[in-house]
Amino acid sequence: MSCCVLTAPLNIKQSERLAEKLKSLADPVRLRLLSIVATAHTGEVCACDFLGKLEKSQPTISHHPSQLVKAGILSRKQRGKWAWYRLADGLCDVREALGEGCC
Amino acid sequence: MSCCVLTAPLNIKQSERLAEKLKSLADPVRLRLLSIVATAHTGEVCACDFLGKLEKSQPTISHHPSQLVKAGILSRKQRGKWAWYRLADGLCDVREALGEGCC
DNA sequence: AGGTTGTGTCGATACTTGTCGATATAGGTC
DNA sequence: GACCTATATCGACAAGTATCGACACAACCT
């Protein structure tokens, strides 16, 4: 990538791409969801677990992980009738874009 | 802090605080603005410079830096009739909250 | 096949936010 | 004082989005 906010002014395209990832992270429900997945011992979490841990309706619970998948923060795999989520590279990309390692 | 999304599930308060900072970053105009400030040789930028570099109206240009200041990403200092912006600690906080150094 | 269960999608609604024109404020100059 | 200039604020509108109830679909079980 090598386009981080600390090395050079972002052009419009770069800023829009990064903003989209950040927007997917900038929600309390999705952050809690992300931290649940990121700290799972097995590295992955079944969608059914979210229902018990986040006090939201099922459509809402279904909506948020798909936003994170679309942004590349999580990845989704269907196993039988269960959906399993695990971390993707998107989070590292965001940290790098925000200047990880330059501070 | 020691509350990063990779070490333990966030509680509601933590997720709301982090989401607020991320929301302030999740906008293309503000990201370009941030990168302009972050890459300035002197470490600070006059608000008047934004008007030439971001194609937005003056009220909009004024709105965005104040959002970043409120979130602790930038700091603002008035010198005469000019407003000068420089980086604050908020950006490092965000990177740490996203798991900098744990990946 | 029929029933159950997990999960995504649709439609509606309420809330938030980015944007701009108009106006206000505050510092500088004459 | 009167004027100009740099920023912030206000009011309004448009666009986006978080949420939910209702429904659809697909995988399992008997």
> Domain of A74: which CATH number?
1.10.10.10
pLDDT tens figures, B45-96: 999 999 999 999 999 999 999 999 999 999 999 999 999 999 999 999 999 9
Structure tokens at B94: 């965000």
Note whether residue A7 is domain-resident: no
Note whether residue A89 is domain-resident: yes
Note whether residue B78 is domain-resident: yes
pLDDT category at A98 given cuts 50, 70, 90 is very high
Note whether residue B24 is domain-resident: yes
Note whether residue B61 is domain-resident: yes
Rounded CA separation B11/A29 (Å):
10
Mutate to test the interface with B, among A14, A74, A95, A96 (most CBs of B within 10 A): A95
In the sheet that holds A82-87, the strands lie side by side as A44-46, A82-87, A74-79
CB A22 within 8 A of CB B20: no
> Residue A73 belongs to what domain range?
12-97
Rounded CA separation B65/B58 (Å):
12
Note whether residue B1 is domain-resident: no
Note whether residue A30 is domain-resident: yes
A32 reaches B (C-beta below 8 A):
yes
B49-62 exposure pattern, b = at least 16 Cβ within 10 A, e = fewer? bbeeebeeeeeebe
Question: Is the Cβ atom of B32 within 7 Å of strand C at any atom?
Answer: no
Note whether residue A27 is domain-resident: yes
pTM value?
Answer: 0.93
Of all nucleotides, the one whose C1′ comes closest to residue B28's CA is C18
Query: Hey, which residues does B74 pair with through a beta bridge?
Result: B87
